Structure 1
Amino acid sequence: MPTSDQDSLRNPLLHDSPLPYGLPDFEAIRTEHYLPAFAAGFQAHLAEIAAIRSNPEPADFQNTAEAMERSGRLLRNVSYVFFNLASADASAEIQEIEREIAPQLSAHSDAITLDSTLYARFAAIETDGLADEAQRLVAEYLDEFRRLGAALDEPAKARLRELNSALAELSTRFGQDSVANMNRAAVLVSDPAELAGLSDVEISAAAEAADQAGHPGGYLLTLILPSNQPALAALENRDVRQRLHTASVQRGATPDGIETLPTAKQIAALRAERAELLGFANHAEFETANQTAPSLTAIGSMLASLAPAAVRNAAAEAAALAEQAGHPIEAWDWSFYAEKVRAARFDIDLAALKPYFELDRVLHDGVFFAANRLYGLTFELRDDLPGYHPDVRVWEVKNRDGSGLGLFLGDYFTRDSKNGGAWMNELVAQSDLLDERPVVVNNLNISKPAAGKPALLSYDEVVTCFHEFGHALHGLFSEVTYPRFSGTNVPRDFVEYPSQVNEMWILWPEVVANYARHHETDEPLAPEIIDRLRAASLWGEGFATTEYLGAALLDQAWHQLAAGVDPGDPLEFETKALQAAGVDLPQVPPRYRTGYFNHIFASGYSAGYYAYIWSEVLDADTVEWFKEHGGLTADNGEHFRRELLSRGNRINPLQAFRNFRGRDAQIQPLLDRRGLN
């Protein structure tokens, strides 16, 4: 719709934010601002692109590549703000805008990447004598133009535009429907006795959730995105465990929810057709073409080599669980009896540790403390800066010398308007060219306690806090010229590496002693318990690796389909794919099943869920380097920051790893960590 001058003056998205570091002025932004801002962003960006492509001067780096990097700033800023909100606090109106904008963004992107004239200008740039980062920028643009279809003929481009638009709509629908299904699948319990095993804080949170959902007097067990639900480890009532597990794994496949399986099947089919049009055998080959993995064959070989040992370990664990339970183990029994065996073998009760993992203490005295010791960072809570939701807190991050680095936003509690899982977003990406410093967000889905109660974390949630902050560090430490290379804008199978490395500090003696304290008594977690936690680290790896590989191999199965091949019933296809890969343990469902596999059908991980374990090879080898060099020291932190975390994608990420490690990664530390020798 046309935007009047007066409307433009009132729309904060159309102007630079007056807040520090360019933090969006969330208090001023209204839902009605987004569509006009997107329209203005599209218009401005296309005008900038037109000026580049029609420039009468011969193409050179400044008037073409650098001009491209300067273009689209308004659209990029609006998109960062909007899509952060769409994932973290989406109203019905925001979801409607998302459905409207998704195909428009797809068409806008196609207008640029399919522009043969623009492609020709990049091909004409003389790169000899340019700085390394500038040469890499031109090469990356040329590769993108070729890969996304700039060289196709016009009929092929027309079909490609149709496919991209349809896929944008379907992916948006899948993501929104998955959130709706996750909320619908929450299990309502009327008798508190059926919640035996849960803590008072957890029962109170379930009562609060039920009350908010319109079930006063009841107790609502809300779900997280993965198949395995945290409450399964503690619930003593087997029937309630079965109800919760069944509700989780049947999402997207039941009449009382929204059927997402047909959407997933349609997405896979359209992606296969698009891949063929672009000259690839399948979508997985298309996606792998710009990753660090050398080939689809290399990915398949790695996953296949890990599966037999993982399944053997899982089968051994199942036998131990059945012995403990006195009956055969079903999927809904696994977590419950896994904790029983852990307690018996290692004298560890993870549920009993929750009082030692209070959210603010984990953050300030754990996550931030480790970052201070390694990198000299300090964190100042900025209550004067608004978040996009009352639960969001804003910290200013400063370097060792007191200079400002950026802003970090933490959004830790679950709500019906938020996607499941955990993630990091950028609100402002670092770029020397644009003189912008980073503003990053961490989102988790921790159950919000009742008023006046502490937020006590499971051990897995502690891991997630450290993991997501590793992504935040990757964004905060970025030192690149061009926004295309900023922070986490690296190949998808590399992006998880820094976040996984940051998990190593969870049980590091100096760190855990600082944050793991009882929230009431301030009593530290006993050193012998911490030692037993370390000793128990391999217990459960059979389950964890098998459920992960099930999801990664299922992803590959969907995306190695050739164009025109009908996979049939999605659930039957899923079963056959898991059987063919040798990971079809009925007690260990994939971490994500097809009906709620948001990573691959609604996010950026299609054909790329392998990235977690591919990155973990680098991660495990990096952990060994830190141990060899003295661990949590400022010198080690500076080396890791300088050689790797700050580099973004301005050099080849594997070369950045070599510069840090002194050699290529070795797989042995990963095999040791996961018990896969």
Structure 2
Amino acid sequence: MSDPRQTTDPETNPLLKAWVTPFATPPFDELKPEHFLPAFEQAFADHSAEVAAITNDPAAADFANTITALERSGKLLTKVAAVFYDLVSAHSNPAILEIDKEVSLRMARHWNPIMMNAVLFGRIAHLHENRAGLGLSPEQLRLLERTYTRFHRSGAGLSEEAKARMAEINEKLAQLGTSFSHHLLGDEQEWFMELGEADREGLPESFVAAAKAAAEERGMEGKAIVTLSRSSTEPFLKSSARRDLREKVYKAFTARGDNGNANDNNGNIVEILKLREESAKLLGYPTFAAYRLEDSMAKTPDAVRGLLERVWKPARARALADRDEMQALITEEGANFKLAPWDWRFYAEKLRLQRANFDDAAIKPYLTLDHMIAAAFDCATRLFGITFDERKDVPAWHPDVRVWEVKGPDGKHKALFYGDYYARPSKRSGAWMTSLRDQQKLDGEIAPLVINVCNFAKGANGEPSLLSPDDARTLFHEFGHGLHGMLSNVTYPSLSGTAVFTDFVELPSQLYEHWQERPEVLQQFARHYQTGEPLPDDLLQRFLAARKFNQGFATVEFVSSALVDLEFHTQPASAAQDVRAFEKKELEKIGMPEEISLRHRPTQFGHIFSGDHYASGYYSYMWSEVMDADAFGAFEEAGNIFDPAVAKRLHDDIYSSGGSVDPEAAYEAFRGRPPEPDALLRRRGLLDDAKAA
């Protein structure tokens, strides 16, 4: 029997033909798993030939025949890979996941000889050495520097023996990262907990409706289930009055990838850490963290640790004070158990209700998904003059995906925006932004195709999806990333949109969250899903007053994860042979409250182990938060959160410049000065705790 993955004639493969769709978008309705491997084969061959032509060009190296030529190469590979990885993460199936195993290895084998090509690197290095006399524009100079850095850090200057070993390491890491993410998805797909009538005590109607929709998604009509999607687990832990069921759900959620089954990730982590350490040493760095952070705003592990520890002490103090108050609540209720991790969210809600007379269930009916999308769009229109028109004629990968055409202030086409909002078994957990095509102007104006993927609970029986305040913030966060891609205005693909340092990339997203919780936005868009009534002023004021509540917990949960990430990559890999023991030791070292667990335990920490994008870099969210809290201050100082002059600087210096400008220079151009570190503690309501510490 022939291999079903490769049965397609290249002449009829939609991935290899011109896309005759609106805006030349991917024809998802025509794509089948068997189209991908032949398309990748062709794309690898094309790209290798293009790179060989650049490498062997008899003419002396110049910017056009080397750097620009590299920017133009690999178009088919970029196109095919963008579509494929969208499906792998947002709408996979067994055939796609099987192909992913092969493609991840082939991708490493394709890129290794390119990034370690001594002759090609020689051309780049020659240009880099003589860059001052080449008459380059600032963007071209930035591109040359980034290209040189990328090749140098990939091992292009190593001995042949070291390069061969580096290539082996890269291949193995690609396989391990893919395996890690598949294991995590497997554990999430396999587990659910059915909710009988007696199991629903304390659960709001909106949660039960979402639990019914989740069951329907799995072919269990008429039932209701809790899944291991964060949008299902966390609301359950907040509102379920059944302590036994909270414990069951919590333990399943925190055990993902750590169950000793076929999806166990402990072995993967040990191997990944060993190989990362070896690769860093081959490149001349003492640790992987030292290697990774050199090419970031932070520069060193010590700088990262300094920021995290500055935040850790006041956050821990606040969390411990909250814990003691919750323990007192338990005693007041006549119970005699000790607060456990599966109790924290439940009693935190009770404490918030007592302190601020507010709980999430009160506001959820006003935060419908459609209204929050409209709010995100409206803020973008008021800030940047762009508009959004829904299109029903653009093919997408799932019926739930919605697509909007984005037009600039001049009314001309600027981008397409795809929103894929609902949780489903074929989608990995979390929320993210990616693209099917990046903005560039190297060969005419290329408009981007930008994607937001979330995992919100779907409303049952045609009811709207109701968001928690955290969900609404997530929507704005990912849309902030989306704007970074849509507003990009650069010439070269490698500098487009979100192609910036990891500890800068979260600035546009986290900054955008500020608008979601502003009274003037909520007053307009928070409307009751049944009556259409606006959010009552009293409830709005209580929501705003409660925003800083439980920030000790949220900060401890995050900072502990960032510190563990840093320790994994600064200590010798041999120290983490037993992943659970390493986690336990590090948490004891920092005095982790036993009632709080890491936001991401190691075996489910996809940010750092399903690839290396955030490895040694999970701290980035907090590094960026220093900037985003300070940056929003520019609007507050102007007395108008849509101030046109501040918005123009924000557009020009942050959102549209991509990676064409050094991030520190970009921030100072916008704000007129470096960020003020205390802005982060102020935003989280931890400044007084920090001063006391």
**TM-score, length-scaled by structure 1:** 0.96
What is the CA deviation profile of residues 33-82 of structure 1, one whole-angstrom value per residue up to 9, with x for unaligned ones?
11111111100000000000000000000000000000001101111111
CA separation of 1:257/1:310 partners in 2, compared to 1, >3 Å: closer, same or farther?
farther
Matches of residues 125-524 of structure 1 in structure 2 within 5 Å?
A: 125=127, 126-127=130-131, 128=133, 129-189=135-195, 191-213=196-218, 218-224=223-229, 229-255=234-260, 258-326=263-331, 327=336, 328-364=338-374, 366-435=375-444, 436-524=446-534
Give the partner amino acid of 2:266.
L
Match of 2:577 among 568, 571, 581: 568
Deviation, 1:257, is 6.2
Question: Any gaps of 5 or more consecutive residues in structure 2?
Answer: 688-693
Q: For residues 332 and 101 of structure 1, what CA distance do their matches in structure 2 show?
A: 39
Q: For residues 228 and 257 of structure 1, what CA distance do their matches in structure 2 show?
A: 23
CA separation of 1:5/1:633 partners in 2, compared to 1, >3 Å: closer, same or farther?
same
CA separation of 1:262/1:6 partners in 2, compared to 1, >3 Å: closer, same or farther?
closer
**Match for residue 63 of structure 1?**
65
Query: Partner of 1:463: helix, strand, or coil?
Result: helix
What is the CA deviation profile of residues 424-468 of structure 1, one whole-angstrom value per residue up to 9, with x for unaligned ones?
011110000033111100000011222322211111101111110
Deviation, 1:227, is 11
Give the partner amino acid of 1:47.
A
Give the partner amino acid of 1:175.
S
Give the partner amino acid of 1:164.
N
Deviation, 1:171, is 0.3
**Match for residue 85 of structure 1?**
87
Q: For residues 310 and 571 of structure 1, what CA distance do their matches in structure 2 show?
A: 24
What is the CA deviation profile of residues 537-566 of structure 1, one whole-angstrom value per residue up to 9, with x for unaligned ones?
221010000000111011111111335x24
CA separation of 1:49/1:510 partners in 2, compared to 1, >3 Å: closer, same or farther?
same
**Match for residue 601 of structure 2?**
593
Query: Partner of 1:380: helix, strand, or coil?
Result: strand
Question: Any gaps of 5 or more consecutive residues in structure 1?
Answer: none
Deviation, 1:102, is 0.3
Deviation, 1:215, is 5.2
Deviation, 1:4, is 11
Deviation, 1:206, is 2.0
Larger CA deviation: 414-423 vs 533-542? 533-542
Q: Percent same amino acid among aligned pairs?
A: 39
Q: For residues 570 and 164 of structure 2, what CA distance do their matches in structure 1 show?
A: 24
**Match for residue 665 of structure 1?**
675
Deviation, 1:17, is 2.3
Deviation, 1:156, is 0.9
Deviation, 1:256, is 5.2
Query: Partner of 2:436: helix, strand, or coil?
Result: strand
Q: For residues 470 and 654 of structure 1, what CA distance do their matches in structure 2 show?
A: 19
CA separation of 1:560/1:403 partners in 2, compared to 1, >3 Å: closer, same or farther?
same
Q: For residues 166 and 668 of structure 1, what CA distance do their matches in structure 2 show?
A: 42
Deviation, 1:666, is 1.0
Larger CA deviation: 412-421 vs 249-258? 249-258
Q: For residues 560 and 676 of structure 2, what CA distance do their matches in structure 1 show?
A: 24
Q: For residues 296 and 675 of structure 1, what CA distance do their matches in structure 2 show?
A: 26
**Match for residue 48 of structure 1?**
50
What is the CA deviation profile of residues 187-246 of structure 1, one whole-angstrom value per residue up to 9, with x for unaligned ones?
233x22211222233223323433554656643201225997221111111111111111
Q: For residues 449 and 150 of structure 1, what CA distance do their matches in structure 2 show?
A: 52
Give the partner amino acid of 1:528.
D
Query: Partner of 2:153: helix, strand, or coil?
Result: helix
Query: Partner of 1:229: helix, strand, or coil?
Result: helix
CA separation of 1:348/1:632 partners in 2, compared to 1, >3 Å: closer, same or farther?
same
Query: Partner of 2:264: helix, strand, or coil?
Result: coil
**TM-score, length-scaled by structure 2:** 0.94
**Match for residue 690 of structure 2?**
none
CA separation of 1:255/1:143 partners in 2, compared to 1, >3 Å: closer, same or farther?
closer
Q: For residues 590 and 6 of structure 1, what CA distance do their matches in structure 2 show?
A: 46
**Match for residue 105 of structure 1?**
107
CA separation of 1:105/1:311 partners in 2, compared to 1, >3 Å: closer, same or farther?
same
Q: For residues 396 and 330 of structure 2, what CA distance do their matches in structure 1 show?
A: 47
Q: For residues 42 and 200 of structure 1, what CA distance do their matches in structure 2 show?
A: 52
**Match for residue 29 of structure 1?**
31
Determine if contact 1:21/1:438 at 8 Å carries over to the other structure.
no
Structure 1's consecutive aligned runs of 4 or more residues displaced over 4 angstroms after TM superposition are 3-6, 214-218, 225-228
Query: Partner of 1:27: helix, strand, or coil?
Result: helix
**Match for residue 527 of structure 1?**
537
What is the CA deviation profile of residues 460-491 of structure 1, one whole-angstrom value per residue up to 9, with x for unaligned ones?
10111111000000000001110000000101
Q: For residues 554 and 6 of structure 1, what CA distance do their matches in structure 2 show?
A: 46
Q: For residues 25 and 434 of structure 1, what CA distance do their matches in structure 2 show?
A: 23
What is the CA deviation profile of residues 229-283 of structure 1, one whole-angstrom value per residue up to 9, with x for unaligned ones?
2211111111111111111112222245621111112111111111111111111
Larger CA deviation: 243-252 vs 112-121? 243-252
Q: For residues 281 and 392 of structure 1, what CA distance do their matches in structure 2 show?
A: 45
Matches of residues 10-21 of structure 1 in structure 2 within 5 Å?
A: 10-21=12-23
Determine if contact 2:176/2:268 at 8 Å carries over to the other structure.
yes
Determine if contact 1:184/1:257 at 8 Å carries over to the other structure.
no
Q: For residues 261 and 10 of structure 2, what CA distance do their matches in structure 1 show?
A: 44
Query: Partner of 1:298: helix, strand, or coil?
Result: helix
Determine if contact 2:383/2:647 at 8 Å carries over to the other structure.
yes
**Match for residue 580 of structure 1?**
589
Query: Partner of 1:310: helix, strand, or coil?
Result: helix
CA separation of 1:214/1:4 partners in 2, compared to 1, >3 Å: closer, same or farther?
closer
Query: Partner of 2:561: helix, strand, or coil?
Result: helix
Query: Partner of 2:236: helix, strand, or coil?
Result: helix
Q: What is the aligned residue count?
A: 673
Q: For residues 17 and 619 of structure 2, what CA distance do their matches in structure 1 show?
A: 40
Larger CA deviation: 277-286 vs 199-208? 199-208
Query: Partner of 1:405: helix, strand, or coil?
Result: strand
Q: For residues 512 and 566 of structure 2, what CA distance do their matches in structure 1 show?
A: 28
Query: Partner of 1:389: helix, strand, or coil?
Result: coil
Match of 1:536 among 546, 550, 562: 546
Deviation, 1:494, is 0.7
Give the partner amino acid of 2:610.
A
Deviation, 1:25, is 1.6
CA separation of 1:572/1:437 partners in 2, compared to 1, >3 Å: closer, same or farther?
same
Q: For residues 210 and 145 of structure 2, what CA distance do their matches in structure 1 show?
A: 52
Q: Provide the alpha-carbon RMSD of the alignment.
A: 1.9
